[in-house]
Structure formats: C-alpha cells, structure tokens
Amino acid sequence: MVYIKDILLATIAISGVLATPVVKRDTATPAASVSYAIPSYLTPVRPAPNPSYYVWPANNTDFVVESLEDFGKQEDPDNPLTIYRDGGGSCNIGNRTIWFFCDTLGYDNGTFKAMTDNSLSVAQSFDEPSLLADATSNSLYSYGWQPAVPYTSEEYPWRNWPSQRFMLWTYTNCFQTTDTQAVQFFHVFKSNSYTSTSNWGNTMAILNLDPNTNTLTISRNEQVTFPNTTYSYGSFASMVVNGVAFLYALDNTYSGGKDVHVARVATWQVTQYNKYQYYDASTKTWSYTQPQPTARRQSAAVMSNWIPYSTGSMFYSEYHNAYLLIYFDNWADSTFKVSYAPSPVGPWTCVM
C-alpha cells in the first residue's frame, strides 16, 4: 500500500516551445539574489533514511491506494486577498517547509489586483498542510508582486509585459545540500506573445536560510543553468543518495516528454558544472560529457513511457524498500502514477 502524507501539486507542462539562443554561464558572481524575512513556523522533520545505492528485494509491491484525504485549498487566512496558485513544489530546509508556486494571482472581492510568475509561502502546521503563511504574495507593489525567485538583468526589464514576460516555473521539490541550504530548479520560459512561448532551459535557485534571523536568501548564479540544447536536469525530479544528488530531466523536445534522463553530482559540488556526470542507460555508464541531443535518445533514458510525464517526486521508501517515483501524467485526466526501482537509475517498474 502507498501511504502519502505530502500534498502533491501538478500542472500540465507547457508544449509547443520554440528554440532560443543559449545564454552563456558565468558563475563568478550571482546573476541575481534576494533575501526575505520569512515566518518562523517550524515543522517537524523526520530523519531521512540512508539507503544503499542498490536496494533489493522490494516489499509490499501491491501498491493500492488505501485512502485519500482532501486537505482543501492551500491558503493564508491572514492574507486580505484571495490567492490563486498554479503548479508548485515544496522544500524542507532548517525545519521549515517552504512552498514555491508558479503563476500566482491576487483578487480583492473579485477584482484583479496583482500577479507574479512565482511565489513563496511557508507551511504553518504539519498537521494542517493547507495552512500557509504567504511570504511574497501579501504586499502590493506599483507593478504587482515581486517574484520569489529574483530576475536577472536580462529578465527584469520585461516584468511589466504580461504578453512578453519571463516565467520561472517549478514542478518538483528541492533537495538539501546542508541543513540550511537547498537547491530548487526552475524552468525558464519567455512569452513572446499571448500565443507563443519559448523554452530557454532551466535555472538553479540556491536557497540559504539563516535560522537565527529567519532570513531566506535565494540566489541564481546564472540566467540559464542547463540550456535548451540539452536536458533540464533537476526540473522533473531529484533526490539525494549517500551525498550524491540525482537530477532527472524530461526530453520534451524529441520524445514529447516520454523519456527521462539523469545526471549526478556530489551535493557539495552542485555549482561546479565540470563535476556533473551523465548516465547512458544503453551502456550503463556515466560520462562527464554533457549530452547535446539532435534526435530522440530513447535507449539512453533511464525511463521511457508511452504516456508523457509531467511532474514528479522521487524518494526512497523504507516501507517498500525501493526508490519510488510518484508522478502526474501529461494528459488532462488528473491521474497520478507510481513507479519503483532498486537503484536511482532503475530498472523502473510502473505499477499504477
């Protein structure tokens, strides 16, 4: 049986994206950084299991859903505006549970007041997962709200152009590098018009929490981390095993989101891109050479499905003694599915 305490949010991944020139990386200084005073709500953190890289045999593989509980709409009861949020993912850092959301809109008695392409909230209670404290969508600015993840100098001038804005969206959870630092990947989209959107790749947001002052700093070392000429590692799912971060990416360009590829890096080297290794399932080998695909590489993928993937959450389950992927398919049927594997690179078995 599957026991799920966390809320899983999903959104249909954007399609029909257009090619865009790659932005060169420069990690000498952050391309953007912002600090927030966040509420000091603490949520209990269960000690993370420490599994081996390979675990077997799997247990309790019947995988039936025993029950469902509706926690209701996630909202801040003290926010004077009515908030509508799209997509999102959560992040545990320093005994705080942080939620990132994609497009966030605020209304006052039915009148539109503000919007931003991403926002940040803090969970107030572990026992009431829908209870939030909005950290970045509770104050009005002359042009609306500031996004939780800061714009770079290339993106900032477009903030007032709804039809030509940059959009930083996340569909998955973060992973921790230390007790007070975590990494969250965001897709970088550029709206060229109301009907045309281009995919620039993804960007790494580095979260640093000062637990003494309840200050959260979010930094981006570059506008684009993994450009659209490769896979957006970390944007589909991620997990840490024995100090190594495994970062999963969809091939939306050539497989239509049906193939999943993976990279790995030690958590303390996550910003050192020459330390990343990329997996080829056809040869079962890792390489420091980043793929630059010009066609579908289905045999190199760690997962391949006839249904497009959309959003994913990956973790080790002690109950099942297996690595689990709980994901939302990219069809508009509100269906979550489960796959399990004995290692971060598979082989993955879809069971529901």
Q: What is the pLDDT of residues 126-151, one digit of tens each?
A: 888 899 999 888 776 544 678 999 99
Alpha carbons within 13 A on the beta-carbon side of 183: 27
CA distances from residue 310 to 78, 160, 195, 259 in whole angstroms, order as listed: 32, 29, 21, 11
**Which structural domain range is residue 179 located in?**
32-49+58-350
d(CA 115, CA 331): 27
CATH number at residue 280: 2.115.10
pLDDT at 10: 32
Does residue 173 fall inside a structural domain? yes
* Angle ∠(116,118,120) on CA atoms, nearest 5: 115
pLDDT at 49: 83
Q: Show the 3-state SS of the chain.
A: CECCCCCCCCCCCCCCCECCCCCCCCCCCCCEEEEEECCCCCCCCCCCCCCCCCCCCCCCCCCCECCCCCCCCCECCCCCCEEEECCCEEEEECCEEEEEECCEEEEECCEEEEEECCEEEEECCCCCCCEEEECCCCCCECCECCCCCCCCCCCHHHCCCCCCCEEEECCCCCEEEECCEEEEEEEEEEECCCCCEEEEEEEEEEEEEECCCCEEEEEECCCCCEECCCCCCCCCEEEEECCEEEEEEECCCCCCCCEEEEEEEEHHHCCCHHHCEEEECCCCEEECCCCCCCCCCHHHCCEECCCCEEEEEEEEECCCCEEEEEEEECCCCCCEEEEEECCCCCCCEECC
Does residue 142 fall inside a structural domain? yes
Does residue 260 fall inside a structural domain? yes
Q: What is the largest CA-CA distance in the chain?
A: 59
d(CA 162, CA 197): 12
Does residue 225 fall inside a structural domain? yes
| Phi, psi at 213, each rounded to 5° | -105, 0
pLDDT digits (tens, 9 = 90+) for 38-96: 988 988 877 778 899 999 999 999 888 888 888 889 999 999 999 999 888 999 998 99
Q: Give the predicted TM-score (pTM) of the model.
A: 0.89
DSSP state of 300: G
Does residue 5 fall inside a structural domain? no
Does residue 169 fall inside a structural domain? yes
Determine the residue type at 144. G
pLDDT digits (tens, 9 = 90+) for 35-53: 989 988 988 877 778 899 9
Name the domain count of the chain. 1
Joined tokens for residue 24: 């060169």
Does residue 97 fall inside a structural domain? yes
Share of the chain above pLDDT 70, in %: 88
DSSP state of 95: T
pLDDT at 336: 83
Does residue 208 fall inside a structural domain? yes
* Nearest Cα residue to 113 out of 70, 136, 145, 86: 145
Please say if the pLDDT value at position 16 is more than 80. no
Tokens 């360009």, located at residue: 253
